[in-house]
Amino acid sequence: MERVLGEIDVELRPGFIAFESDVFAVLRNRRIVTIPPSCSVREAVALMQRHGYSQLPVVENGEVLGVFSYRSLAQEAAKAELEHWTQQKCAPGDLPVEEFLEQFEFARVTEEMRRVFDALDRDNGVLLGTPERLLAILTPMDLLRYLYQLANPFGQRSNSLSEL
């Protein structure tokens, strides 16, 4: 079920998503786990739990169709009437993830960060690359970790929030 995309070869430019210092290096060193649209919700949730992810790109024939996430599952489940679930004749966990997709914006690694802030806030993530070549997923937590590294350049760890 799990697919890992290949190596990422990106020219880093200061002041953009691919910070030279660098938030993209953190993302680049992660495996991108993707799932097909036919993957069951149960399998997708198990993958997200195993890898510590809150969303997974759904890919078919090498193209990103959308993103399955805890949020997209909850939003679609909240919209559905009990009658809908009864008509499905299966538990929600047995349904394919394609019924629970949400769309994230794509951004190129050369995109200015301020352009992606609204998308990060709204969608809780931005896909870096194109629908045909996904490079990484940037989440608000990735950005927060990067900013923390900038504020703590020599690895000095703060022991409490009051020190921030």
Q: Domains, the chain, ranges and CATH?
A: 3-152 (3.10.580.10)
Give the three-class secondary structure for 111: coil
Long-range contacts, stretch 14-17, CB < 8 angstroms, 24+ apart: 15/112, 16/109, 16/110, 16/111, 16/112, 16/113, 17/107, 17/108, 17/109, 17/110, 17/111, 17/112, 17/113, 17/116, 17/128, 17/138
Give the three-class secondary structure for 158: coil
**How high is the pLDDT of residue 36?**
93
**How high is the pLDDT of residue 45?**
94
Q: What is the pTM of this model?
A: 0.72
Can you read off the two tokens belonging to residue 52?
């510590």
pLDDT averaged over 10-residue windows placed end to end, the chain, 164 residues: 34 37 50 88 92 89 92 86 71 89 86 80 87 84 79 64 54
**How high is the pLDDT of residue 40?**
94
> Cα 108 from chain centroid?
15
Paired with 4 in beta bridges are 33
